[in-house]
Structures are given as C-alpha cells and as structure tokens.
Amino acid sequence: MKLPSNNLNYPVRILAGTSSGSGFIVGTDDKNNIYIVTAKHVLYYQDPTTKEFKLFAEKIKIVCNTFVEPYVYKPPRIYELSLQKLIADNHLKQHSSQDIVVIKFGERKDSRIHFLAGVTLLQNAEGSIVTYELSGARKFNDVDISNEIFALGYPVSLSTSEMKQINYDLPLVRKGIIAGKNYDNKTLILDCPVYGGNSGGLALEINLDVPNEVNIHLIGVIVQFVPFVEQWQNTRFPSLYNTHYQNSGYSIVLPVDFIIDLIDEIEGNQGIQEESKE
C-alpha cells in the first residue's frame, strides 16, 4: 500500500554535536502536550572509563520537514533545544535500562504551540509541526507478527555526500514485516534493514484486520540492526580469531510501552513559554 504523504512529516532529523540520528514527534490527546522521541545513543555516549552516559552536545538541532500532497517538499523548520535546561526542568527523561529518550517539547493551546523554555525556533517554514497522536499507537501485546510495517528515518551512513545520491535532510522509507517478538527483552523484531542514522526513527504497522479499512499504527522506536556474525578461527592458534559483523536485514524496535512510561514520568511538569513570533 501507499503511505500517505503526511506520514513523512513524523520523522525529524536530530543533530547533536558529532552525532546525527532520527526522532519523531508524538502528541498526547488528553493533555495536549507534544514530545520528541529518539534513541538514547543519538544524544548520549557512554564514557569508556566511568561508564557514565554523557551528552554529545548541550544544544541540539531538530529538523522538521513538511510534505503536502502529492509529496511536494517544503523547506524545513529548524529548532534548537538546550538539553541542559530541559533536563534541569525535568522535561527530558532517559530510560534506566532501555535505549530510549523522551523530551517534552511544548504544549498545544489556543490553536498555537507554546514551546518550553529551552526551545528556540532557528528557521521558520510553511506549514506546522505534524505529530503522531498516541491514541492511535499499538502496545507490545497488541502488535501482530507478520503484519507489514514502514520504517522512517534519516540513514545518514548510506552513500557519501560527494556522490550526491541522497539528501541527508530528507527522510527515507523502508518497508518490511514484523518478524517476531522477544518476550524476554520486550522488543519487536522487524524483517526490515536499518542503518546508521535510522536510530530513533519510528516504525508504523499496517493493520488490515477490519475489511475495507487500512489502519496505520505507531508501534515503537528503531534502536539497532541485528548483525549476522561470522567468526574465523586460526587452526594453528585456536585462541586467535576474527569476528566480522554484517547487517542481517533484521532490526530491533522498542515498543510504544516504553514511550508511554517515560511520558507518564514527565507529565505534570511546568515551565511553558509561548512560541516566538513566526
């Protein structure tokens, strides 16, 4: 099936110092808050000595694209987020054990978006922010194995800028299926390849359970690919071996359940400021 063009507005590109990854914006129908969801390793790296997670950069940029029918591209909006300010105000939560971060971004009020302190509009553009409303998402237990999926994000590790094959500021779409579930880790396994830069992007499930009706559900955040592991061992010196990792074409998604858990931790915090003039 064809993915509606407004779905291309869900993924955002995140620039955090030397790190570049994907994210997406979700809305909560009941409280009118909006959040950015991404993978933890897009914003944080682990110190090899202390094992502590540290930010790649104190300020990050969020590139939000706007597509209209029929897939007409408009220049993006760009926002700068002061992570230190958002952390201090308890508007950024990283999961204690999972590779996911949720950032409270703003609040919809009086037909406008009021952004939190620490959020600055750097570049205005036509259109508005497009959010996925969590009321349409499906949790881990509700996701159906073998259903078709779309993976959306910014795989900036593909090709090279010199080859001019890809505009790295525009999202790319991959299609696959839900291959299985890992009930121990509470993760979803996709038969769909992802690459560096896809981390933090979203996976959408296509549900055809209702006759003559197509439903598109957010099912989670893309966090890693599954490697095919090949080992070569020295027959003369068995302790010497070489391990080679390749992309198997499978990938891992953390389900919506973890997004909801982090939003529940953030809800209720204050510190809203009105969006600057556009």
Q: What share of the chain is helix, strand, coil (3-state, %, to 5)?
A: 15, 50, 40
Six token digits for residue 253: 């998604």
Domains of the chain (ranges, CATH numbers): 5-266 (2.40.10.120)
One pLDDT digit (tens) per residue for the chain, 278 residues: 778 878 889 999 999 999 999 999 999 877 789 999 999 999 999 999 998 999 999 999 999 988 776 667 778 999 999 999 999 999 999 999 999 999 999 998 877 889 999 999 999 988 778 899 999 999 999 999 999 999 999 999 999 889 999 999 899 999 999 999 999 999 999 999 999 999 999 999 998 777 666 789 999 999 999 998 888 888 888 888 888 889 999 999 999 999 999 999 998 654 444 444 34
Handedness of CA 261, 262, 265, 271 (dihedral sign): negative
Nearest alpha-carbon partner for 33 in 108, 118, 137: 108
Rounded to the nearest 10°, the torsion over CA 54, 56, 60, 66 is -110
Q: Which amino acid is present at 3?
A: L
Per-residue confidence (pLDDT) for residue 81, from 0 to 100: 98
